[in-house]
């Protein structure tokens, strides 16, 4: 199985390193080396190679946060919808399995733990949803009924001192909220993807998968875990979400992991992964000081 990862960002690079360590035949590229956003370029490249799986880890998340998606709608639409849809069409033509790393931020509310069968309530049918979430929903609609797999991750965290890491974000935020959300440990995501690739039914698995650690986390809980290790931000204040100075509304929800559990691919409980990851994060943080 020859795997190509597209996008050398937070998720892509860590996945690549993990798969290589686990002896998978994986390579990674970025848009400077290969213009994978260009249908013809990608087709020419892929048709001459012998990849059996393509994992798209590119996407526009907005910088410093998703509010930027409201201001750069064309870019957001291009990278979150057109590019993955183009890659999927090429994979379909060349009989390559396509995995799109996307987001579970297409639901909001606490009426239930949302399953893959639930129609997104924080996507294109909700005028109040963020543009980022709308593009993630749009992409799922385009990939529907194809052989592609969409990995819906949420609030990714690991032990590194990097801006994309939820734990580091919480440490830096002055205002934190106490709403329950699903989270995805990057280390657990990598193990999940390795197991998925080796799954006996891999080629027959299609559609969205909620790749979240079971349970829920909150910003306040992360601050408490950090506090337990005496790593605190003196300006921390727990505020209501309505007090945050944000442009776009945020998705706050818990996703069900029943589908991945049924496939035997369940991630460890979120509180266990978070506790262990915070401990490693604090160690790393203290080492760089
Ligand atoms: N981080 C999160 O909080 C989060 C949460 C849920 C879901 N996700 C999803 O997971 C996927 C990977 O996210 P990530 O956290 O790895 O994001 P990232 O670190 O920003 O990497 C995304 C990659 O997308 C490409 N890209 C496309 N347009 C870009 C632009 N205008 N600015 C910067 N990069 C651009 C770049 O690929 P090249 O390397 O080829 O240039 C970049 O390396 C995305 O689909 C994202 O929506 C992320």
Is the pLDDT score of 241 beyond 90? no
Q: Where are the alpha helices (DSSP H) in the chain?
A: 10-21, 39-48, 67-71, 73-77, 83-94, 131-143, 166-172, 186-197, 219-228, 258-262, 270-288
What whole-number distance in Å separates Cα of residue 203 and Cα of residue 190? 19
* Ligand 1 pocket, residue 9 CB under 6 Å: yes
Is the pLDDT score of 289 beyond 80? no
CA 246 to chain centre: 21
Q: State the pLDDT at residue 61.
A: 96
Indicate the pLDDT class of residue 8, thresholds 50, 70 and 90. Answer: very high
What is the whole-number distance in angstroms between the Cα of residue 62 and the centre of ligand 1? 8
Q: Which domains does the chain have, with CATH numbers?
A: 2-288 (3.40.50.720)
Q: Are strands 149-153 and 175-176 parallel, antiparallel or unpaired?
A: unpaired
pTM of the predicted structure, to 2 decimals: 0.97
Q: State the pLDDT at residue 148.
A: 98
What is the whole-number distance in angstroms between the Cα of residue 61 and the centre of ligand 1? 6
Beta-carbon-side half-sphere exposure of residue 89 (alpha carbons within 13 Å): 15
Q: State the pLDDT at residue 22.
A: 98
What is the whole-number distance in angstroms between the Cα of residue 41 and the centre of ligand 1? 20
Residues 21 and 37 sit within 8 Å (Cβ to Cβ)? no
CA 14 to chain centre: 12
Query: What percentage of the chain exceeds 90 in pLDDT?
Result: 96
pLDDT digits (tens, 9 = 90+) for 61-118: 999 999 999 999 999 999 999 999 999 999 999 999 999 999 999 999 999 999 999 9
Q: State the pLDDT at residue 244.
A: 87
pLDDT digits (tens, 9 = 90+) for 161-213: 999 999 999 999 999 999 999 999 999 999 999 999 999 999 999 999 999 99
Residue of 4, 5, 8, 9 best suited for mutating to test ligand 1, as the one with most atoms within 8 Å of CB: 9
Is the pLDDT score of 245 beyond 90? no
């Amino acid at each position: 199985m020859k795997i190509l990862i597209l996008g050398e960002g937070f998720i892509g690079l860590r996945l690549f390193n993990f798969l290589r360590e686990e002896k998978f035949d994986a390579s990674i590229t970025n848009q400077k080396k290969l213009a994978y956003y260009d249908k013809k370029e990608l087709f020419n490249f892929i048709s001459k190679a012998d990849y059996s799986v393509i994992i798209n880890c590119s996407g526009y998340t907005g910088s410093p946060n998703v509010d930027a998606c409201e201001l750069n709608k064309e870019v957001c639409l291009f990278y979150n919808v057109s590019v993955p849809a183009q890659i999927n069409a090429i994979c379909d033509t060349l009989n390559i399995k396509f995995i799109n790393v996307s987001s579970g931020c297409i639901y909001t509310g606490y009426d239930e733990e949302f399953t893959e069968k639930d129609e997104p309530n924080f996507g294109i049918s909700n005028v109040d949803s963020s543009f980022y979430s709308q593009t993630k929903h749009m992409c799922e609609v385009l990939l529907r009924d194809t052989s592609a797999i969409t990995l819906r991750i949420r609030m990714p965290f690991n032990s590194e001192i990097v801006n994309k890491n939820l734990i580091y974000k919480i440490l830096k935020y002055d205002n934190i909220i106490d709403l329950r959300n699903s989270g995805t440990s990057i280390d657990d995501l990598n193990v999940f993807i390795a197991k998925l690739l080796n799954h006996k039914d891999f080629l027959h698995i299609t559609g969205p998968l909620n790749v979240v650690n079971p349970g829920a986390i909150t910003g306040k809980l992360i601050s408490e875990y950090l506090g337990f290790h005496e790593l605190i931000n003196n300006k921390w204040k727990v505020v209501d979400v309505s007090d945050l100075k944000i442009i776009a509304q945020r998705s706050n929800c818990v996703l069900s992991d029943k589908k991945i559990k049924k496939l035997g691919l369940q991630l460890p409980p979120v509180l266990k992964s978070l506790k262990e990851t915070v401990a490693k994060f604090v160690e790393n943080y203290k080492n760089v000081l």
